[in-house]
Structure 1
Amino acid sequence: MLSILQGFGSVFEMLFHSTKCLPVSLLLTPHLKLIHRLPASLLVIAGGKKAMISSSSSSNGPDSYTTIRERVSFEREIKKSKFMAIAGPISDEQSAQSFLSEVRDSRATHNCWAYKLGDLYRCNDDGEPSSTAGKPIYSAIVSSGIDRVMVVVIRYFGGIKLGTGGLVRAYGGVTTECLRSAPTCLVKSKILIGLEVPFDLLGVLYHQLQSFQVEDIKQDYETGKDGITMVTFRIEFDRVERLENAVKVNCSRQIVFYKF
Structure 2
Amino acid sequence: MDEKRYPIPAGLHRVEQDIQKSRFITTAAHAPTVEEAKAFIARVREEFADATHNCWAFVVGPPGSTAQVGMSDDGEPHGTAGRPMLTALLHGGVGDVAMVVTRYFGGTLLGKGGLVRAYTAGVQQALESLPTTERVRKTRLAVEVEYTHVDGLRRLLPSYEVQVLAEEYSATVGYRLELPVTQVEALRTALNDLTLGQVLVEPLDSDD
* TM-score interval (norm. to shorter): 0.7 to 0.9
Query: Which segment drifts farther, 207-216 or 114-123?
Result: 207-216
The corresponding residue for 1:106 is: 49
Question: Following TM superposition, by how much is the alpha carbon of 1:135 offset from its aligned partner in structure 2, in angstroms?
Answer: 1.1
Query: Of the candidates 69, 76, 94, which is equivalent to residue 128 of structure 1?
Result: 76
Q: Distance in 1 between matches of 2:40 and 2:148?
A: 47
Query: Of the candidates 235, 238, 243, which is equivalent to residue 179 of structure 2?
Result: 235
Q: Distance in 1 between matches of 2:120 and 2:145?
A: 58
Q: Distance in 2 between matches of 1:179 and 1:247?
A: 41
Tell me, yes or no, if the aligned pair for 2:55 and 2:100 is still in contact at 8 Å: yes
Question: Following TM superposition, by how much is the alpha carbon of 1:216 offset from its aligned partner in structure 2, in angstroms?
Answer: 6.6
Tell me, yes or no, if the aligned pair for 1:204 and 1:251 is still in contact at 8 Å: no
Q: Distance in 2 between matches of 1:152 and 1:86?
A: 5
The corresponding residue for 1:139 is: 87
The corresponding residue for 2:59 is: 116
Look up the equivalent residue of 2:118 and give its one-letter code. A
- TM-score w.r.t. length of structure 2: 0.79
Give the length in aligned residue pairs. Answer: 196
Q: Secondary structure at the match of 1:161?
A: coil
Query: Deviation per CA, 1:59-106, whole angstroms, max 9, x where unpaired?
Result: x22211211212222211112111111111122223223322332301
Report matched runs for 1:164-179 at 5 Å: 164-179=112-127
Q: Distance in 1 between matches of 2:148 and 2:176?
A: 15
Structure with bigger gyration radius? 1
Question: Following TM superposition, by how much is the alpha carbon of 1:154 offset from its aligned partner in structure 2, in angstroms?
Answer: 0.3
Q: Structure 2 unaligned runs (5+)?
A: 62-66
Q: Secondary structure at the match of 1:235?
A: strand
The corresponding residue for 1:181 is: 129
Question: Following TM superposition, by how much is the alpha carbon of 1:115 offset from its aligned partner in structure 2, in angstroms?
Answer: 0.8
Q: Distance in 1 between matches of 2:23 and 2:178?
A: 46
The corresponding residue for 1:57 is: none
Tell me, yes or no, if the aligned pair for 2:191 and 2:197 is still in contact at 8 Å: no
The corresponding residue for 2:201 is: 257
Look up the equivalent residue of 1:116 and give its one-letter code. V
Look up the equivalent residue of 1:254 and give its one-letter code. Q
Question: Following TM superposition, by how much is the alpha carbon of 1:252 offset from its aligned partner in structure 2, in angstroms?
Answer: 5.7
Tell me, yes or no, if the aligned pair for 1:65 and 1:146 is still in contact at 8 Å: yes
Q: Please give the root-mean-square deviation of Cα atoms over the aligned residues, in Å.
A: 2.8
The corresponding residue for 2:18 is: 77
Look up the equivalent residue of 2:154 and give its one-letter code. H
User: Greater strand share, 1 or 2?
Assistant: 2
Tell me, yes or no, if the aligned pair for 2:53 and 2:104 is still in contact at 8 Å: yes
Q: Structure 1 unaligned runs (5+)?
A: 1-59
Query: Deviation per CA, 1:29-70, whole angstroms, max 9, x where unpaired?
Result: xxxxxxxxxxxxxxxxxxxxxxxxxxxxxxx22211211212
Tell me, yes or no, if the aligned pair for 2:149 and 2:194 is still in contact at 8 Å: no
Look up the equivalent residue of 1:69 and give its one-letter code. A
Question: Following TM superposition, by how much is the alpha carbon of 1:108 offset from its aligned partner in structure 2, in angstroms?
Answer: 0.4
Query: Deviation per CA, 1:5-48, whole angstroms, max 9, x where unpaired?
Result: xxxxxxxxxxxxxxxxxxxxxxxxxxxxxxxxxxxxxxxxxxxx
